[in-house]
Amino acid sequence: MLTYQDYLEATDTAAFIAKAISQHMASAEYKIARDADLYDRQQNVTINRMTKAYQAAGGGSGAEDNPGMCIASNWFCRFNTQRCSYLLGNGVSFTQREKRANAEGRLIDVDVTKDQLGSDFDNQLYEWGYTALIHGVSFGFWNLDRLLVFHLTEFVPLWDEDTGALRAGIRFWRLTPDKPMTAVLYTEEGYTTYRTRDRSAGMNFAAVDESPRPYVEIVETTEADGEIIAGAENYGALPIVPMWGSRKKQSTLVGFRDNIDAYDLIKAGYCSDQRDVAKVYWLIENCGAMDREAMDKFLDDIKRHHIANVYTDSFAGDAKAALSPYTQEIPYQGNEACLDRLAKDMYRDFGAVDTSTIPAGATNDQIESAYQPMDEEADQFEVQVIKAVQQLLRLMGIEDTPQFKRNRTSNVKETVEAIMLLAAYLDPEAVLDHVPFITVDEKQRILENMDAVNAARLTVDKSAAEQPPDGEQAAGTDDAA
């Protein structure tokens, strides 16, 4: 593990970058993150590797000669999506708000902090959080006016040996293994781009920039010179913020992988038994002259054609070759019980919510009880998200607190009825805050419309109050005449 201090002591930066990338790709954290990406795409790495090894040991190629079924479940993606969407599905809001005039001149309530973060911040925050869950950590790079997310499979963090803070990092990528690699070194002084020499596929880097480029460049435009760089500046710290998926600082694949593998192996084996008609097996007598290859071919013909020819003239003596079928029952109940138990264990261990177990018309008390494990896990995840977002805001010179509205199921009728009972004691904003299906952005639009309606009503009422009664208006007209 190379650190920030190792970078400071390095005499050849290009060689240090190559060494850091090589060691990072050989680390356990990188390999787990790479496997987590495959599980997230519904590709069971363990089954695929076991099948290839089994085929290779049995004389097959192990790559394309695979008679077994490889059925991969989507548990990993499903559970991580549920946890991330539960917390970040409705986006984020902040406490600093102010009234601003819109295009129509009406005053509207504006989230000041979110307005500075950009319209795409919610999407990038979701990507930041989801990657932190499956990789254990991900890195948010504030690129002047927008957030970019670096994955652990493409970024080498250089931690400070004394404080443990992230002081520098290297982002690397290449299209395919035989293509050149590009690496960008990020430090507090700026960023420097490196590329492999002569478009080689190795890691013989050469610097593209002569010196670190600043993160913020001030550009001025004149008629004579066009665009010119009038100044440059950097942030007070490295503009890359790590977000951990949990206090354990490890991927959610750790510890959860064995459950997924066991489930997929049982399911794949069960389906393979059904396909191969394993409920019927054969005993072949007086065919000892067959070698293993001939026996495998013979059994494959039986499975494919359901008929076999037994030749007796090739055997010495009066021994007759015989083929006897026997039946056995596939352990259906045992497989189903094991799969059901594994599924329940995964829901419990991951803290996920199995919505199929919540009966239709369940009360909010029943729903709250079902969501309790999810709330506990989301609380730990929320702590990490808040830390990362606040560190990002400090880079921008903003002090604020993010707020989240969790995306959960509820008995809407029961909830709305309870809110309506208290509506007389609450202001409109508080009422909308407690309605489960109204998002933060929808709440602001509803409040704006209510203000516009109230303002129009006041204008009408004021105009009516200023009009004199009909009798007085008539009398005044006569006197004037």
pLDDT one-digit tens code per residue, 59-97: 554 444 444 567 889 999 999 999 999 999 989 999 998
Among candidate residues 186, 36, 480, the one with its CA nearest the CA of residue 472? 480
Distance CA 349, CA 79 (A): 11
Least confident piece of the model among 235-239, 292-296, 302-306, 373-377: 302-306
Distance CA 305, CA 47 (A): 29
Q: The pTM is what?
A: 0.78
Among candidate residues 322, 264, 290, the one with its CA nearest the CA of residue 46? 264
Q: Select, from the ranges 43-47, 142-146, 250-254, the one with the highest average predicted confidence (pLDDT).
A: 250-254
Distance CA 142, CA 119 (A): 14
Least confident piece of the model among 201-210, 350-359, 378-387, 465-474: 465-474
Q: Report residue 334 CA to chain centroid gap.
A: 34
Q: Which pLDDT does position 163 carry in this prediction?
A: 94
Contact 170, 155 (CB under 8 A): yes
Among candidate residues 31, 10, 30, the one with its CA nearest the CA of residue 19? 10
Tens-place pLDDT, residues 9-63? 999 999 999 999 999 999 999 999 999 999 999 998 888 777 776 666 655 544 4
- With pLDDT > 70 as the criterion, what percentage of the chain qualifies? 79
Segment 417-436 shows an average pLDDT of 84
